[in-house]
Amino acid sequence: MVKISFEGLKDVYYAGEDIEGAIILTGVKGLEARSIVIELYYQIIVILPGRRRHGYSKRVDIYKEEVDRNIKFTADPARYEFKIHIPEDAPPSIAYEISRRVDWVLRVKLDIPLHRDIIKDIILKVYNSVEPTQSIIENVIIENRYARLVIDKNMFEHNETVTGKFIIFNIPSRTRKIRICLYTRLEIIAEEVVFTETLASEYEITCVEYDPHELSTNREYIFKLDKNAIWSATYINPDIRTIVYVVLKFDIKYAPDIILKAPITVYHEKKRIPIKKVSFKETISETLTEEILGIMQDGKIRDVVDIRLELGFRYDIDEIIKACDKLVRESKLEVVEAGELLRKYKIKRK
């Protein structure tokens, strides 16, 4: 019986790396084949609930090569080496649940005349994230009349403990518990023939739970979220977005939960760069404007909402408007359509 196996593969690959290994064919002596083809692709799969199960899938081919053709095997086993590059912007493997996933597949197909093709698939783990900005904002603060949530910084490496503190101002009477959680929001852009839809789901990565009767108002509590799963990194491309949040939630009986949500950037060690700590004002004047200029270099026209989306929701609308206005004053951007949120900008060429 013919068997296909692989040699030299790693458990984990990062975007930008090469997949190097060998195809091993056993039980092929005396066999004739039209071709041996190796492929690398990823597949986005979404299964939607309901009486009639339906969903969305998209396959994106990265690599395909015919490594040999018109072969008559005279030896057993046969061995073929390969080297395949994973693109720098490759989406990460995602497997929060069986109905929402991104699978990376390495496939070898042996085409045998007058017989069914012999196919071997192996699922690879590929990791990727956004690149961190040059600067870290310390003490990111989100608050309302019930609580203040303070994250120690806005960027964490994937194996770091996410740390911060919170202060409770007011505890509603029917509060059952108070929770600090790390969440990932997964958005998949489904492009159908007639329409485009964003399919979004949120997943709890780790959580710390508090009894509200044991908490005092106006007192500072420190928290640590130390199960920062490697696949929960921040990532954005035209098809897939993963956005990481720290959430402070009041679980209230018979009433909507009260939620404070602070987006953070989680990046992989392969993306590590020298980072400096700056104040909030310095970040708005330097880092945010640099990021906006970076995404506008392609010459496309974008409004404030588009820019915030591509920056991974790490800045408020008001911050982005101020930064864009600053770039307009510096003649680096120009306004191509008036409006408030829908004001549109493009890069100003010299």
Share of the chain above pLDDT 90, in %: 37
- Mean pLDDT of the 76-100 span: 88
Domain boundary among 277, 294, 317: 277
Pair (257, 285) in one structural domain: no
pLDDT digits (tens, 9 = 90+) for 195-252: 567 778 888 888 999 999 999 999 999 999 986 665 678 888 888 888 898 999 999 9
Higher pLDDT, 82 or 338: 82
Tell whether pTM > 0.75.
no
DSSP-assigned states of every residue in 198-218: EEEEEEEEEEEEE-GGG--TT
Residues 173 and 148 in one domain: yes
- 258 and 203 in one domain? yes
Do 245 and 135 contact (CB within 8 A), yes or no? no
End of a domain among 127, 142, 175?
A: 127
Q: Are 130 and 312 in contact (CB under 8 A)?
A: yes
User: pLDDT at residue 42 above 70?
Assistant: yes
| Structural domain for 302, as ranges | 279-350
Cβ atoms of residues 76 and 29 within 8 Å? yes
pLDDT of the residue at 55: 73
Task: State pLDDT tens for residues 137-170.
Answer: 888 888 889 999 999 988 888 888 999 999 999 9
Q: What is the CATH number of the domain that holds 109?
A: 2.60.40.640
Let me know whether 166 and 69 are in one domain.
no
Q: Is the peptide bond before 77 cis (omega within 30 degrees of 0)?
A: yes
Q: Are residues 210 and 316 both part of a single domain? A: no
Of the candidate ranges 66-70, 113-117, 257-261, the one whose mean pLDDT is the lowest: 113-117
* 322 and 284 Cβ atoms separated by less than 8 Å: yes
pLDDT of residue 194 exceeding 70, the answer is no
| 268 and 331 fall within a common domain | no
Cα angle 214, 216, 222 (rounded to 5 degrees) comes to 85
Same domain, 332 and 349: yes
Classified as helix, coil or strand, 293 is helix
- What are the beta bridge partners of residue 37? 66, 109
Report the CATH number that the domain containing residue 326 is assigned in CATH.
1.10.10.10
- pLDDT of 280 > 50? The answer is no
Q: Name the token pair of 338.
A: 């008036």
Instruction: Give the end of a domain, one of 238, 258, 277.
Output: 277
Claim to verify: residue 252 and residue 332 sit in the same structural domain = no
Stated as kind and residue range, the H or E segment containing 322 is: helix 317-329
Euclidean distance between CA atoms 21 and 4, whole angstroms: 13
Number of domains in the chain: 3
For residues 255 and 344, membership in a common domain is answered with no
Collapsing DSSP states into helix, strand and coil, what is residue 113? Answer: coil
CA nearest 325: which of 310, 307, 350, 299? Answer: 307
> Are 212 and 329 in a shared domain?
no
Say whether both 123 and 136 belong to one domain. Answer: no
Of 46, 78, 82, 44, the C-alpha closest to 63 is: 82
Mean pLDDT of the chain: 84
- Nearest in space to 139 (alpha carbons), one of 50, 248, 264, 241: 264
Check if the beta carbon of residue 34 is closer than 8 Å to that of residue 72. no
